[in-house]
Amino acid sequence: MSFSPTSYDERAAMPLGDAEIGAQVDARFEKDNRIGWPKNSLLSWPVRSELVQDSTSATLSAEVQKIMNKAGWSVLVYVSFRYHGAVAGNKTLLVESMDTPPNVDEWKKLLVQIRIYLYSCREHCTIEMFQRDWFYQQPIRIDEYEILEAWTTQSRAFLEILHTEDFTSLELLRISTQSAKAAQTARPRVLVCSPLVDSLQWDVVRTELQASLLSTFDLEFQYSNGLQSQYCLDYQRGEADVTNHDHDRYSATVKMGASIGISGGDGGGTAGAKLSLFVGTSEEDFVLTNNHVIECETKTAVEQHAALTPEHSLVTGKKVQLVSPADADWIHDRNVTFKDMIQLARMIGSRIGYSDSQLLQTEGEIQRQEPEEQVVQTLQQKLLQMKAEYLKGLLAQLQDYQHSGADIGQFGKDVAIWSKELFDYTEDKGTIEEDGSFEKRYLGHLWAASGHRVTYEGLNEGPGWLLDWALGKISETRDISNRIPFFSKGSEVGRQLKLHEKATANQYQDGVEKMAVAKHGRTTGWTVAVINQAAVFIKSDKPTTVGRETATSHGVEVVSDEIVDKYRGLCRALAFFNHDDHFQGTVMKPGDSGSIVLANETSFSGASWVGLAFASSTDSRRGYMMPIEVVLRDIEKVTECSISMPREKQ
């Protein structure tokens, strides 16, 4: 394991005595149940990132695990680039405790043991110990006027410092390591997220921010290499695992929250919901998602800091075709089905009496088939052939030894069960090939999109709202339902959902004063959360030039995110996260982009839209959304059509 002495205290590489090691411990125990080594190593929140997966790191993790277990601690130990990621070769040994430490002295003793062990191995890296699931989040409420007013002042001061720096987001929320209830009374913390928060080059920035901090707030940093705003691209990444399987059914009607993508694209997002517009004299239906879900096809044909209108050649020529489920999800389903059926073939073959060599030969024949799309069909035929051979052989066997004493009745029942299972399996899973064709997955074509833009709030105002939406014109052969997708009332999420199971989401609420929300996304399915009333500020990618469009009758003037006047490259959004004591965790992951955020309330008039989700934090515990009122008004501006659905809630 390499060590960079310029990255932190050079004494980290020196042989220290126990007392000297203990004196260099960086403790934030009373506040956050965290200690680290050496001094000034705890600059940012514990957030999981890429693990170091080599034999040395594996050995270190295993040996430190033994040290902790011997002391009676249940822990997770691993090596990561999670902190100090700006310095090459600088690694951190992380010890996540399953239990709450009773006092800082006990942890200091263990940390000293770990440091001595690392030195004996001639391995020098940062050490950090903290309580797993270490923090509870609480939002800033709409009635906390003094805090919200102070946040307006504080955010402007911080943005003046940060607008030229490489940072991801600036937020305000409450945090506690004890419980969600304790977090309600905790001091609000300003959270600065950046890939450079632990680096030497940010020493001046950290000092300036601390000097500008109002007495109302605490200051916190989080290592972050960017928001997870991209759609899902890689099924090998853990955050892309699909827990919402609505796209497994290839019906003509798509559920809100199902998979959507570009035909021929390599990723997928979420089909948020159906939206209707008056186009001329007719009412037409569209699917709403994010601009960045479809921009892989538009970025070379459209100036990305301008909206895509219905008059553009991409739209009139229907060149950007939408499919549901996305190609990536369909291919994934097909591959999983192929593997499942290979396994079924192995079990059936063993039951029939095929030898190992025969089974391997059969699987080899199946897997050598070309082209790939014929694999499942070929496999089904092979399985049916195997079943026929088995039944033929069984019939002859029964005729030969009717009086052998074997339990022929039970044997026959087993045969019937296996035969029915195989038949049902092949019939059911066969729909993935049959209905997975482009013709049956075709949902429509791109009709309009926001591009990369933000609303203009005025010369003397702060950054405007981020805009990230796209509309697809729905094909006549398919539809999208705004009926609330199924959820199990007995599940952990289901118990927190207040929505009517058979309600429809055909209305929207202006404003986000009601903070309890829920969203149904392609990756994580249903999650529940609360909206943080303190706006979050996000840094865009390419701040460069200045320009401005004309204000609309709605009072929303739109500009490029290259502009935003003195706040160049900055935009505003709202964060939402779960704050329950027993339900800390994931709110949104890649692939959930485009989800409609709903008010989590019981309403006989139906569920209400309150936002359009577009990204999540690095740890997936916070989602980010645009207020739906902002999105709808911009859709009307860009398309020059009025919205008939969703209607405003009365």
Can you read off the two tokens belonging to residue 443? Answer: 């949902």
Domain boundary among 108, 131, 154: 131
Same domain, yes or no: 315 and 460? yes
The pLDDT of residue 113: 92
| Sheet of 34-37, strands arranged across | 26-28, 34-37, 126-131, 92-97, 75-80
From CA 274, how far away is CA 287, in angstroms rounded? 5
* Angle (CA) 375 379 382, round 5°: 140
Same domain, yes or no: 411 and 498? no
If you ran DSSP here, which 8-state letter would residue 296 be given? H
Domain boundary among 75, 105, 131: 131
- Classify 549 in phi/psi space as left (phi over 0), alpha (psi -120 to 50) or beta: beta
Look at residue 4 and tell me if it is in a domain. no
| Element (DSSP H or E) covering residue 297 | helix 291-298
From CA 205, how far away is CA 346, in angstroms rounded? 62
Same domain, yes or no: 350 and 374? yes
From CA 90, how far away is CA 488, in angstroms rounded? 45
Could you give phi then psi for residue 542, rounded to 5 degrees? Answer: -130, 70
From CA 166, how far away is CA 155, in angstroms rounded? 16
AA letter at 348: I
Same domain, yes or no: 255 and 318? yes
User: What is the residue-wise DSSP string for 339-376?
Assistant: HHHHHHHHHHHHHHT--HHHHHHHHHHHHT-SSGGGHH
Look at residue 228 and tell me if it is in a domain. no
- Tracing tokens 């509309």 back to the chain, one arrives at 471
Same domain, yes or no: 543 and 628? yes
Look at residue 48 and tell me if it is in a domain. yes
Secondary structure of 235-279 in the HEC alphabet? CCCHHHCCCCCHHHCCCCEEECCEEEEECCCCCEEEECEEEEEEE
The pLDDT of residue 139: 92
What residues does 405 pair with on adjacent strands? Answer: none
Domain boundary among 97, 131, 165: 131
For 65-217, list the strands marked E by DSSP. 75-80, 92-97, 126-131, 136-138, 169-176, 189-194
All residues at 6 or more sequence positions from 200 whose CB lies less than 8 Å from its CB, including other chains:
6, 7, 87
Same domain, yes or no: 335 and 317? no
The pLDDT of residue 563: 37
Look at residue 233 and tell me if it is in a domain. no
From CA 586, how far away is CA 521, in angstroms rounded? 12
Same domain, yes or no: 188 and 44? no
From CA 219, how far away is CA 172, in angstroms rounded? 9
Same domain, yes or no: 162 and 266? no
AA letter at 575: A
The pLDDT of residue 203: 87
Same domain, yes or no: 169 and 253? no
Same domain, yes or no: 537 and 450? yes
User: What is the residue-wise DSSP string for 496-539?
Assistant: T--S-TT-B--EE-SS--S-EEEEEETTTEEEEEEE-SSPEEEE
Look at residue 573 and tell me if it is in a domain. yes
The pLDDT of residue 505: 94
From CA 626, how far away is CA 648, in angstroms rounded? 17
Can you read off the two tokens belonging to residue 277? Answer: 């517009």
Name which of 108, 114, 92, 94 is nearest 198 in CA terms: 92
Look at residue 413 and tell me if it is in a domain. yes
Q: How, if at all, do strands 525-531 and 516-521 pair?
A: antiparallel
Look at residue 1 and tell me if it is in a domain. no
pLDDT < 70: residue spans in the chain: 1-15, 47-50, 82-90, 133-134, 229-250, 296-305, 334-436, 457-461, 490, 540-569, 580-584
User: How many CA within 13 A on the CB side of residue 67?
Assistant: 19
From CA 564, how far away is CA 614, in angstroms rounded? 20
The gap between the terminal CA atoms of the chain, to the nearest Å, is 63
AA letter at 640: E
AA letter at 38: P
What residues does 615 pair with on adjacent strands? Answer: 624
Report how many domains make up the chain: 4
Same domain, yes or no: 470 and 429? no
Same domain, yes or no: 342 and 369? yes
Could you give phi then psi for residue 301, rounded to 5 degrees? Answer: -110, -15
H helices within 129-168, ranges in order? 145-162
Range of the domain at 193: 138-223
The pLDDT of residue 301: 57
Name which of 252, 250, 271 is nearest 260 in CA terms: 271
The pLDDT of residue 1: 34
- What CATH number corresponds to the domain at position 216? 3.30.300
AA letter at 65: Q
The pLDDT of residue 218: 93
Helix, strand, coil percentages (3-state) for the chain, rounded to 5, are 35, 25, 40
Look at residue 555 and tell me if it is in a domain. yes
The pLDDT of residue 419: 57
